[in-house]
């Protein structure tokens, strides 16, 4: 799994569930992350117009990483279901009037304040949550043994319980690619690319044919431990595969296979072995390569070129 400090893996998200949300009718669906950390990208208005009009509703879910009006204004006239990130520097402000360092322990207070403010306005279709990375898990194998890491267990337990109490999902970032790259001798490539014909993990009476499901179910197990109930909710806010930057695992063909098979799995199956009643919602990372992020593989997850040509067949 991708390694990052738990405190910095947490970011408040405003998660809007509208009346026309397609998941309530058709089952699982995949959306896209739209980041703007590049100097060669089209304007937000042009990008949103492309997704909402020219794609003919093939992408109905979008996750943006800031609440900039340059993005929000073109989004307001669309039928897209939108997840909006609140900047990390605003988390501390939302918790206390004075400027304080952004650490994981402030996230819950900020979420409570935002939730109460939204509900006081009589708005019941917007949910507040946070996104976390795989490093918040201390154990993930087998999936049924998933539990939060000791350093964040108390914070994550309180956070998960509160999200459950208000009906909000926990957003998780799931990257089988990084798991493969870190342990290539122990993780079969076909298991990561949704191509295994036999179960690679047998966990009690549950069989796992792909690593994505196993990673999601490890999060579910940790959440169930914290809440004490099975009816927890989660959304996969990031997953994807880079086209370059970490050979031999990155590459256009592996990215095409992973993301295409992922979409087939989400739409066709829409659940994990552990959670048969799940309506899976997954956001692929990401729309464009971002050439201003730190050097390395993170620059190469885009599924569209800046001129809106697909890097590989995925959305059409």
204-234 pLDDT, tens per residue? 999 999 999 999 999 999 999 999 999 999 9
The string of DSSP codes covering 202-259 is EETTEEESSHHHHHHHHHHHHHHHHHSSS---EEEEEE---SSSSTTT-SHHHHHHHH
Q: Within a domain: residue 305?
A: no
Residue with tokens 């990375």: 133
- Number of H-type helices and E-type strands within the chain: 11, 12
Q: Within a domain: residue 12?
A: yes
- The domain that holds 14 is classified in CATH as 3.20.20.80
Res. 253 pLDDT band, cuts 50 70 90? very high
Q: Within a domain: residue 316?
A: no
CA distances, 92 to each of 87, 182, 313 (Å): 10, 34, 42
Contact between 279 and 23 under an 8 Å Cβ cutoff? The reply is yes
Domain range holding 94? 6-300
Kindly tell me if the per-residue pLDDT of 271 is higher than 50: yes
Q: Within a domain: residue 306?
A: no
The two three-digit tokens of residue 145, written as one number: 């043994």
What is the pTM (predicted TM-score) of this model?
0.89
Q: Within a domain: residue 314?
A: no
Q: Within a domain: residue 183?
A: yes
Q: Within a domain: residue 308?
A: no
Q: Give the pLDDT score at 282.
A: 96
Q: Within a domain: residue 312?
A: no
Residue with tokens 């798991």: 179
Res. 27 pLDDT band, cuts 50 70 90? low
**283 has which bridge partners?**
31
Count of domains forming the chain = 1
């Amino acid at each position: 799994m991708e390694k990052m400090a738990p405190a910095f893996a947490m970011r408040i998200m405003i998660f809007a569930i509208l009346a026309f949300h397609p998941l309530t009718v058709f089952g699982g669906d995949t959306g896209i992350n739209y980041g703007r950390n590049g100097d060669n990208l089209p304007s937000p208005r042009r990008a949103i117009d492309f997704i909402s009009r020219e794609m003919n509703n093939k992408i109905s879910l979008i996750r943006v990483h800031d609440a900039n009006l340059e993005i929000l204004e073109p989004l307001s006239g669309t039928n897209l279901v939108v997840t909006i990130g609140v900047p990390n520097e605003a988390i501390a402000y939302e918790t206390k009037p004075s400027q304080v360092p952004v650490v994981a322990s402030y996230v819950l207070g900020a979420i409570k304040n935002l939730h109460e403010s939204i509900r006081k306005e009589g708005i019941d279709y917007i949910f507040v949550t946070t996104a976390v990375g795989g490093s918040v898990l201390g154990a993930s194998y087998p999936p049924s043994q998933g539990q939060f890491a000791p350093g964040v267990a108390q914070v994550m337990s309180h956070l998960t319980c509160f999200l459950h109490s208000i009906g909000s999902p926990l957003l998780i970032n799931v990257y089988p690619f990084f798991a493969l790259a870190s342990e290539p001798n122990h993780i079969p490539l076909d298991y990561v690319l949704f191509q295994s014909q036999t179960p690679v993990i047998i966990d009690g009476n549950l069989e796992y044919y792909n690593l994505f499901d196993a990673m999601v179910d490890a999060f579910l197990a940790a959440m169930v431990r914290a809440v004490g109930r099975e009816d927890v909710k989660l959304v996969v806010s990031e997953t994807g595969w880079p086209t370059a930057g970490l050979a031999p695992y990155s590459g256009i063909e592996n990215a095409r296979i992973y993301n295409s098979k992922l979409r087939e799995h989400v739409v066709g199956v829409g659940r994990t072995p552990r959670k048969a009643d799940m309506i899976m919602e997954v956001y692929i990372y990401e729309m464009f390569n971002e050439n201003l992020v730190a050097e390395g593989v993170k620059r190469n997850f885009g599924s569209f070129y800046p001129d809106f040509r697909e890097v590989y067949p995925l959305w059409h």
